[in-house]
Amino acid sequence: MKGLARVFTAALAVVALILPALSNADIDPAAVTVVAPKDIKFVRNEAGTNEQAVLFGDPSKPGPYVIQLRWLPGNMSRPHFHSTDRFFVVLEGTWWLGTGTKFDPDSTVPVKAGTYVFHKAGGIHYDGAKDEPALIQVWGMGPMTTTQAEQR
């Protein structure tokens, strides 16, 4: 029985080493684009509150786009709205969301990794991160504009 367990373990190790190489060799880059997390290039915004990586398209131009947005801890946007619908999935951390024209971080609600969020065009909201970074993936149709909507 011990011999069979060793053979099984060795076979499993070989499969674990060979399978990734075989699957990568089968991907035609003309048909499918794969970007590893380490190859995603984030750019920090001027305010230093978040970092963005454009994965596909351009939110300012007509057509679909996909971006990743990393909110840095302790940073939130002010109330605003977007010209088009936007769709989100929280990839890492906790993203905090609030609605309305009055900025009130204490009233925001936590949105955990794995959660889907839909921001409706014209819907006033604010969002960001509190104690930990929050990585979100955003997709939508451009051109998309952002309008500030805070009432003080």
Q: Which is it for strands 134-142 and 86-92: parallel, antiparallel or unpaired?
A: antiparallel
Task: Convert the pLDDT of each residue in 96-115 to its tens digit.
Answer: 999 999 999 999 999 999 99
Q: Mean pLDDT across the stretch 57-75?
A: 98
Confidence of residue 152 (pLDDT cuts 50, 70, 90): confident
Of 88 and 15, more confident: 88
Residue 10 has pLDDT above 90, yes or no: no
- Vertex 96: Cα angle to 138 and 100 (nearest 5): 90
The model carries a pTM of 0.80
Residue 139 pLDDT greater than 50, yes or no: yes
* Cα dihedral 141/56/138/60 (nearest 10): -50
pLDDT band for position 26 (cuts 50, 70, 90): confident
Beta strands in the chain (DSSP E): 43-44, 50-56, 63-71, 75-76, 80-82, 86-92, 94-99, 109-112, 116-119, 125-129, 134-142, 146-148
Residue range 126-132: average pLDDT?
A: 98
Mean pLDDT, residues 103-131:
98
> Above 80 in pLDDT, residue 2?
no
pLDDT-derived band of residue 31, with 50, 70 and 90 as boundaries?
very high
**Is residue 40 over pLDDT 90?**
yes
Q: What is the mean pLDDT of the chain?
A: 89
The arithmetic mean of pLDDT across residues 41-48, rounded, is 96
Q: Is the pLDDT of residue 16 over 80?
A: no
Smallest CA-to-CA distance from 125 within 143, 150, 93, 88 is with: 150
Query: Which domains are seen in the chain, by residue range?
Result: 1-30 (no CATH), 37-148 (2.60.120.10)
